């Protein structure tokens, strides 16, 4: 349902030029070619060393080169493109940079990152996405901006209504392109690319590169440099994993005990279905937890409220379906719990990518029922590592075959070798 009244308040208003004196900087970020103002900005945000994708991509983007980037989630990808883009744009002018994102949440996140990084410049950042009214977005677009973060469908609507033009785009960022493919957005993306000038810099980020995307990249990019940071299949090394075997009827009980026994700051719980997510949330609330819920049946206002409430500490638990798994940057998630094992091994990596982001540590717990044993093994094969099976002392387990020594040994043997068969790009 379209929520006509709500517009996110963070969208940029006219911003004054830099209010502080920028000191002379000599940091790992200036060594990559970034200005003092940008290095000062990231220092203020607590960044000390650039992440590998930043080290690789920033110099290329600064020189104006096209990039095909693949980096696991939480690697600092946004700053890897946002910082050099802000530097290249320099001062306020026309709409020169467009970033396409598959979901509203990702668009909001990227817009927020740009706002933070551009704090000491007079560049203006705006955002448009679907599911909300047009009024404020139209006003923002007409007021003018340098950088626009957008989801494809809504941007096309605004373009058709003449609310903005892509005629001066110098830099086009296609982010999470494999996700756009999954969501059926590629025709829209192509139409948007065609509306941008041919002379431009294009940055293309994707976790996998199936043939459709190879083709799109070949068409949209010019002599791109490939930047690859870790295979997508390997989750962040700062995350520890555990599988908790349990029968289906005892899942909630076990979840409750896990929450009781774990010292957590914030927990993200994944459910396979929307109804399941609602049910888990409801039961957790009745046990006294503060809980936000995020899935595609909730409207935009509810989703933002849940996400902001979780980020701000109002909710200690966020229950979500996989809609929240891709790319969302939620700082300080200490635990991810898979109430249901994800159907695709790759989704596991995305889900747990919500914790252990940018060098922080995190724990990923997965409840595994007898029906999930195969999927659990697929995950281990996909990641090329065995995950420890854990039992909670004192829990009244009603079935224990899942702990059987042979099953555990088999799992360990199966887990050693990664296979490309499960790679999403190959499956299509």
Q: Judged by CB, which is closer to ligand AMP: 11, or 72?
A: 72
Q: Judged by CB, which is closer to ligand AMP: 58, or 415?
A: 58
Q: Judged by CB, which is closer to ligand AMP: 51, or 201?
A: 51
Edge-first strand order for the sheet with 362-368 is 291-294, 317-320, 267-270, 335-338, 362-368, 239-245, 388-389
Residue numbers 345-364 binding ligand AMP by CB under 6 A: 357-358
Per the CB < 8 A criterion, the answer to whether 293 and 284 are in contact is: no
Which CA distances in Å does 248 have to 40, 256, 331, 399, 404? 52, 14, 31, 10, 17
Q: Least Å distance between CB 359 and ligand AMP?
A: 7
Contact track, ligand AMP, 61-100, x by CB under 6 A: -------------xxxxxx---------------------
Task: Label residue 252 exposed, middle or buried (CB < 10 Å: 0-12, 13-18, 19+).
Answer: middle
Instruction: Please select the residue that binds ligand AMP; options are 47, 117, 348, 382, rule is CB under 6 A.
Output: 47
Q: Least Å distance between CB 179 and ligand AMP?
A: 14
Q: How far apart are CA 44 and CA 388, in angstroms?
A: 39
Per the CB < 8 A criterion, the answer to whether 423 and 231 are in contact is: no
Pick from 299, 300, 345, 337: nearest CA to 318:
337
**365 near ligand AMP, rule: CB under 6 A:** no
Pick from 361, 353, 366: nearest CA to 271:
366
Candidates 47-55, 87-95, 259-267, 293-301: pick the segment binding ligand AMP (CB under 6 A).
47-55
Contact track, ligand AMP, 236-275, x by CB under 6 A: ----------------------------------------
Q: How far apart are CA 368 and CA 213, in angstroms?
A: 34
**183 near ligand AMP, rule: CB under 6 A:** no
**306 near ligand AMP, rule: CB under 6 A:** no
The contact set with ligand AMP (CB under 6 A) reads 47, 49-51, 54, 74-79, 329, 331, 357-358
């Amino acid at each position: 349902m379209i929520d006509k009244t709500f517009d996110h308040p963070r969208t940029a208003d006219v911003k004054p030029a830099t209010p502080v004196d920028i000191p002379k900087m000599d940091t790992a970020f200036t060594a990559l070619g970034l200005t003092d103002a940008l290095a000062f900005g990231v220092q203020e945000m607590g960044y000390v060393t650039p992440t590998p994708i930043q080290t690789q991509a920033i110099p290329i983007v600064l020189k104006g080169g096209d990039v095909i980037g693949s980096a696991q989630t939480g690697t600092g990808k946004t700053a890897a493109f946002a910082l050099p883009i802000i530097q290249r744009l320099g001062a306020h002018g026309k709409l020169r940079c467009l970033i396409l994102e598959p979901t509203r949440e990702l668009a909001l996140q990227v817009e927020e990152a740009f706002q933070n990084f551009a704090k000491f410049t007079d560049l203006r950042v705006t955002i448009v996405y679907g599911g909300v009214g047009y009024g404020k977005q139209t006003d923002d677009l007409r007021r003018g901006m340098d950088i626009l973060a957008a989801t494809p469908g809504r941007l096309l609507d605004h373009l058709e209504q003449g609310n903005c033009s892509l005629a001066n785009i110098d830099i086009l960022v296609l982010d999470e392109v494999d996700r756009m493919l999954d969501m059926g957005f590629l025709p829209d993306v192509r139409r948007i690319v065609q509306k941008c000038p041919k002379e431009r810099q294009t940055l293309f980020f994707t976790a996998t590169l199936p043939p459709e995307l190879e083709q799109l990249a070949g068409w949209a990019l010019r002599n791109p440099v490939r930047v690859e940071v870790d295979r997508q299949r390997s989750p962040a090394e700062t995350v520890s994993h555990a599988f908790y075997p349990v029968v289906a009827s005892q899942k909630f009980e076990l979840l409750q005990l896990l929450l009781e026994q774990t010292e957590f700051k914030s927990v993200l719980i994944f459910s396979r279905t929307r109804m399941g997510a609602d049910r888990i949330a409801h039961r957790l609330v009745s046990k006294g937890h503060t809980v936000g819920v995020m899935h595609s049946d909730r409207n935009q206002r509810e989703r933002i409220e849940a996400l902001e409430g979780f980020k701000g500490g109002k909710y200690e638990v966020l229950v979500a379906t996989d809609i929240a798994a891709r790319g969302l940057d939620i700082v300080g998630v200490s635990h991810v719990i898979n109430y249901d094992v994800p159907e695709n091994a790759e989704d596991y990596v995305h889900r747990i990518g919500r914790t252990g982001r940018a060098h922080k540590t995190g724990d990923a717990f997965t409840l595994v029922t007898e029906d999930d044993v195969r999927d659990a093994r697929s995950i281990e094969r996909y990641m090329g590592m065995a995950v420890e099976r854990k039992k909670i002392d004192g829990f009244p387990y009603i079935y224990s075959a899942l702990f059987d020594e042979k099953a555990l040994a088999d799992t360990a043997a199966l887990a050693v070798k990664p296979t490309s068969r499960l790679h999403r790009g190959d499956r299509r």
